[in-house]
Structure 1
Amino acid sequence: MKILIEKASIVDRHSPYNGKVCDILVENGRIRAIAPDLAVTADQTVRHPGLHVSPGWVDIFSHFGDPGYEHKETLATGAAAAAAGGFTDVFVLPNTRPVVDSKSQVEYIRRAASSLPVRIWPIGAMTKGVEGKDLAEMYDMRQSGAIAFSDGTHPIQAAGLLLKGLQYVKAFDGVIIQIPDDRTVGANGLINEGIISTRLGLPGKPMMAEELMVARDIKLARYTESRLHFTGVTSPRSLEYIRRAKEAGLAVSCSVTPYHLFFTDSDLTEYDTNLKVFPPLRDGITVEALRKAVLEGVVDAIATHHQPHEFDSKIVEFEYAKPGMSGLETAYAALRTSLPGLTPDHTVELLSSGPRAIFGLDQPTIVEGKEAALSFFDPAGTTLLTKSLSKSKNNPFLGKTLQGKVLGMLNGTQLHLNQPGQ
């Protein structure tokens, strides 16, 4: 099968074609030729005004629900949403039923996802049952294909347990992912603690809960000389701690979500449960500081925190709604709209080369002979999502016009091109 990508601006700092407009011929999943003008006949052609192509994007924190929560999302519907969002690779959370805390569960996901258009990488649970009590068999899971380790939406609370986990994964150069949140601080908080929480009469969650955990975990990473990734970071002070840790040579990295860069707690005045997320949306000043940190390169990656929920988990009183939003399909457009000054090169670093470097994935460079793992996008385009390929529809970006447009992706021989409304 031959696929011709016409007149694409190549965004890949590892490629000699970076910054050039070329045709790219992909045959049987491999890049066969790159030139300014290829006169070939292809089975399918990708063409679009303003087409940009980059190495395949990676999302490092998504919840696909399978096994056990297939009414929220399945591996197939999650992969479809990821492909529509331009992602070729997705890390899936272990917070399933049963929990992904053994090699058999890792192998189940790998087998079940083997024919999907997107590569699915299981994150193994750090503790048995994600209960935060006893370490899971991380070595066995690593041997079976677990890409990293985390208790997902249940941050590790016990310092001693995280210490043991960091020491354990060091033996095979593993990475632990942590949402930084001390759940004893503002334990009943529903939204960010501040003026809006007071005005709405909702209990607040202070940023201090995040900052305490970041400071503690950095000390543990320093002690163990192990690798730690913070995701869903929302506090400028947390980012300052992380920046200092990097300057000190620690193997610490971090990611933020597109929605924490786009929305503020002021958007909650209508009690929209789709905006009830964990960590909570912060105030406008904090969001501006987060955007600045991304532009300055403090942030290593963008993580969607895609967390789909069925109708009954969201169409309830705000207090009882489950936290999380569906976000794979709109991640790029939300990022582009929030940060119009973000260059295509920096965007690809956040969505592709950054996460690949942190977690040891191969870098699919755009050169002849390499396997094709490509994302297609148009920075000058617009997105108006009217239909979602995710099984759940708890996406607050539905019906919003956003800057930037994902055109699709190519993963080996698997080509996905978005239709109008996607």
Structure 2
Amino acid sequence: MKLLIKKVLIADKNSLFAGLVKDILVVDATIAMIDDAIVTEADETIEAQDLAISPGWVDIFADFADPGYEHRESLESGAAAALAGGISHVFVLPNTKPSLQNKPQVAYIVEKQKQLPVHLYPIGAISKNIEGKDLAEMYEMQQCGAIAFSDGLQPVQSSGLLLKALQYINAFNGTIIQLPIDKSIGAFGLMTEGIISTQMGLPGIPALAETMLVKRDIDLLRYTNSKLHITGISTAESAALVAEAKAEGLAISSSVTPYHLFFCDEDLEGYDTNLKLNPPLRKRADMMALRSAVENGTIDCITSHHLPQNWDNKTCEFEYAAHGMIGLQTSFAVVNHLFGHLPEDKLAKLMGQNARQLFNLPDATIEISAMADFTVFSKTGTTILNKENNKSKSANSPFIGIPLTGSISGVFTKGKWNGNK
């Protein structure tokens, strides 16, 4: 199979061709040639304005709901959504039924993903049954293919248990992923606490519910000298705490969702259940601080927090709606829509290259003779998610029908080109 990509900007700082516009020829899953003008017959030729190419992107926190909740999503439909969003590597959450808490459950993902068009990496549960009481079989899961450890949507509340987990993973240089939610604070809250929640008559979740857990987890990280990734930070103070911990030299990293960068609590005034999230949308000042944290490097990764919900869970009163939105297909477009001024290589780092380094994924680069694992994208194209092109089984997205600047031409991974039509 021959794929020819014409006049594409190479957004890969590790490439000898970084920052140059070149033609790229891929032959049988290998980058065979990079030159100014390649003239050859090809099975498919990609040519469009403002194309860029970078190593394949990574999403480190996505719920594929399989096994147990396949009515919301499956590994197959989740993989299709990832491809459409330019993502070739996805970390899947352990909040399944049964949960990914031992070797057989992890092996289920590892084996099934071999038949899928993207690379799926199971996140092993920290605690048995994700109950936050006893450690799960972390070493066995790591040996079987678990990429990291987290209780996913149910972050560890017990300081003692998280301490043990951080100590335990030191034996194999593992990483803990924590969602920053103290469930004992604002337990019945429906949105962030503030003027808007008061005006809407909804119980609030104070920012303290996040920042207290971030502070605690950083203290435990300092004590154990382990590795911690905090995902889905939503407040200005959380970003500041992560920046301070980085300056101290702790092995900490962080990620933010596109929707915490795009929306704030003011957008909830229409009671759109697709904007009921956990952590919740915060105040405008927090949103702007998170945007600054993306630009200054405090935040390492963009992650979708793809959380499909069936129709019944969202088409109801706000109080009873489930949390979360789908986000894999719109992740890049939302970020590019907001940060179109950033260069392509900076966006590529946020979308995948930083995650590759943090979680020790296989190297990928845009070089002659390298295996093809890349995403082709455009900063000036347009993405509109709609009923016809949505690849997820669920449709809980506030971005449906909204034009976003930035588009995906396709992904080359696992020896195959997957182009978006």
TM-score relative to the length of structure 1? 0.98
The residue number in structure 1 matching 2:44 is 44
How far apart, CA to CA, are the structure 2 residues paired with 1:44 and 1:153? Answer: 41
1:339, CA displacement in angstroms? 2.3
How far apart, CA to CA, are the structure 1 residues paired with 2:382 and 2:234? Answer: 27
How far apart, CA to CA, are the structure 2 residues paired with 1:317 and 1:414? Answer: 44
How far apart, CA to CA, are the structure 1 residues paired with 2:262 and 2:25? Answer: 36
How far apart, CA to CA, are the structure 2 residues paired with 1:315 and 1:248? Answer: 46
RMSD: 0.9
Other structure's SS at 1:113 match: helix
Question: For 1:331-362, what per-residue CA distance to the aligned partner results, in whole angstroms no more than 9, with x for missing partners?
Answer: 01111122233221211111111111110112
Instruction: Please tell me the residue identity of whatever aligns with 2:402.
Output: K
Other structure's SS at 1:269 match: helix
1:187, CA displacement in angstroms? 0.8
The residue number in structure 1 matching 2:193 is 193
Q: Say yes or no: does 1:13 pair with 2:13.
A: yes
1:363, CA displacement in angstroms? 2.2
How far apart, CA to CA, are the structure 2 residues paired with 1:390 and 1:210? Answer: 30
Other structure's SS at 2:115 match: coil
1:131, CA displacement in angstroms? 0.6
Question: For 1:120-143, what per-residue CA distance to the aligned partner results, in whole angstroms no more than 9, with x for missing partners?
Answer: 000000111111000001110001
Other structure's SS at 1:171 match: helix
- Answer whether contact 2:118 2:414 (CA < 8 A) is retained: no
Instruction: Please tell me the residue identity of whatever aligns with 1:366.
Output: I
1:5, CA displacement in angstroms? 1.4
Instruction: List aligned pairs for 1:404-415, cutoff 5 A.
Output: 404-415=406-417
The residue number in structure 1 matching 2:395 is 393
The residue number in structure 2 matching 1:373 is 373
- Answer whether contact 1:61 1:93 (CA < 8 A) is retained: yes
Instruction: Please tell me the residue identity of whatever aligns with 2:201.
Output: G
How far apart, CA to CA, are the structure 1 residues paired with 2:300 and 2:42? Answer: 37
- Answer whether contact 2:61 2:91 (CA < 8 A) is retained: yes
- Answer whether contact 1:409 1:416 (CA < 8 A) is retained: yes
- Answer whether contact 2:340 2:379 (CA < 8 A) is retained: no
Structure 2 gap segments, 5+ residues each: none
Instruction: Please tell me the residue identity of whatever aligns with 2:374.
Output: L
Other structure's SS at 1:6 match: strand
Other structure's SS at 2:209 match: helix
Q: Say yes or no: does 1:70 pair with 2:63.
A: no
How far apart, CA to CA, are the structure 1 residues paired with 2:341 and 2:293? Answer: 13
TM-score relative to the length of structure 2? 0.98
1:285, CA displacement in angstroms? 1.5
- Most deviating of 321-330 and 104-113: 104-113
Instruction: Please tell me the residue identity of whatever aligns with 1:417.
Output: G
**Runs of 4+ deviating beyond 6 Å:** none
- Answer whether contact 1:191 1:281 (CA < 8 A) is retained: yes
1:193, CA displacement in angstroms? 0.5
Instruction: List aligned pairs for 1:195-344, cutoff 5 A.
Output: 195-344=195-344
Q: Say yes or no: does 1:139 pair with 2:133.
A: no
1:412, CA displacement in angstroms? 3.4
How far apart, CA to CA, are the structure 1 residues paired with 2:106 and 2:29? Answer: 26
Question: For 1:192-229, what per-residue CA distance to the aligned partner results, in whole angstroms no more than 9, with x for missing partners?
Answer: 11111111111100111110001110010000000000
Question: For 1:257-307, what per-residue CA distance to the aligned partner results, in whole angstroms no more than 9, with x for missing partners?
Answer: 000000111111111111111100011121111101111111011111000
- Most deviating of 350-359 and 43-52: 43-52
Q: How many residue pairs get matched?
A: 419
Other structure's SS at 1:8 match: strand
- Percent same amino acid among aligned pairs? 50
Instruction: Please tell me the residue identity of whatever aligns with 1:342.
Output: L
The residue number in structure 2 matching 1:79 is 79
Question: For 1:300-323, what per-residue CA distance to the aligned partner results, in whole angstroms no more than 9, with x for missing partners?
Answer: 111110000111111111111110
- Most deviating of 198-207 and 43-52: 43-52
- Most deviating of 225-234 and 32-41: 32-41
How far apart, CA to CA, are the structure 1 residues paired with 2:271 and 2:335? Answer: 23
How far apart, CA to CA, are the structure 1 residues paired with 2:355 and 2:415? Answer: 23
Instruction: Please tell me the residue identity of whatever aligns with 1:123.
Output: I
1:414, CA displacement in angstroms? 2.0
Instruction: Please tell me the residue identity of whatever aligns with 1:351.
Output: M
- Answer whether contact 1:371 1:412 (CA < 8 A) is retained: no
